[in-house]
Amino acid sequence: MYYYRHKPDGLENPDIIHRGATHLALKHEASDWTYPELWLAKSLYAPHDIVRAAILAALILYEDTFGRSP
């Protein structure tokens, strides 16, 4: 999104961003969506709140950039 906002002529194919945001929005609404576990030291850890916060931030940035929800 940073690239899209700061490049004078925008993206060559903004449809990629639209499809990605739609995918994130649909997955965000699903209550049974699981996140992949990450390695932390010697154990697996899935930071659900951090992942959801990153998804919400991406969706808010999308809406702020394009003026609409995906």
Give residue 9's pLDDT: 67
Please state the φ and ψ torsions of residue 43, each to the nearest 5 degrees. -135, 165
Q: What is the pLDDT of residues 7-64, one digit of tens each?
A: 656 667 778 889 999 998 887 777 677 777 888 788 888 788 888 888 899 999 889 8
Give residue 60's pLDDT: 92
What is the C-alpha to C-alpha distance for residues 42 and 21, in angstroms, rounded to an integer? 33
Give residue 19's pLDDT: 92
Give residue 38's pLDDT: 80
- Residue 2: which pLDDT band, with cuts at 50, 70 and 90? low
Query: What length is written for the chain?
Result: 70
Domain residue ranges in the chain: 2-66
